[in-house]
């Protein structure tokens, strides 16, 4: 008989933890989860974006080469537990910077 493991979201282990900027390296658990999702992206431009989280509101900052990448960044962090609102402050700078 083959046992099937339950499939969990990558950030499922963060559920129920307190959100505080005093944990670890100065980022709250939700910020860390959002940054992990961006760093795991196959798009290099998303890996260099930053996030800030306060009271259910996640702000994404940085620059990407296309509007599409800006939208992908937003959708990448949408599933993070605790995020109720996303402000996308990512600027589109085509050809101005080498994004890899």
Please name each of the domains of the chain with its CATH number. Answer: 18-92 (3.30.300)
Instruction: List, in sequence order, the alpha helices (H) in the chain.
Output: 29-39, 44-47, 67-77
pTM summary value? 0.68
pLDDT tens, the chain, 100 aa long? 333 333 344 445 444 444 444 344 456 899 999 999 999 999 999 999 999 999 999 999 999 999 999 999 999 999 999 999 999 999 999 765 555 5
How high is the pLDDT of residue 96? 52
Query: Is residue 45 within 8 Å of residue 16, measured between CB atoms?
Result: no
Q: How far apart are CA 79 and CA 82, in angstroms?
A: 9
How high is the pLDDT of residue 94? 76
């Amino acid at each position: 008989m083959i046992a099937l493991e339950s499939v969990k979201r990558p950030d499922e282990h963060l559920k129920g933890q307190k959100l505080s900027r005093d944990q670890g390296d100065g980022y709250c658990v939700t910020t860390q989860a959002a940054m992990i999702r961006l760093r795991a992206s196959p798009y290099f431009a998303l890996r260099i974006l930053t996030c800030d989280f306060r009271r259910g509101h996640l702000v994404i900052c940085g620059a990407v080469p296309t509007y599409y990448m800006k939208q992908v960044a937003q959708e990448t962090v949408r599933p993070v537990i605790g995020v109720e609102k996303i402000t996308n402050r990512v600027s589109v700078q085509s050809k101005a910077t080498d994004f890899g």
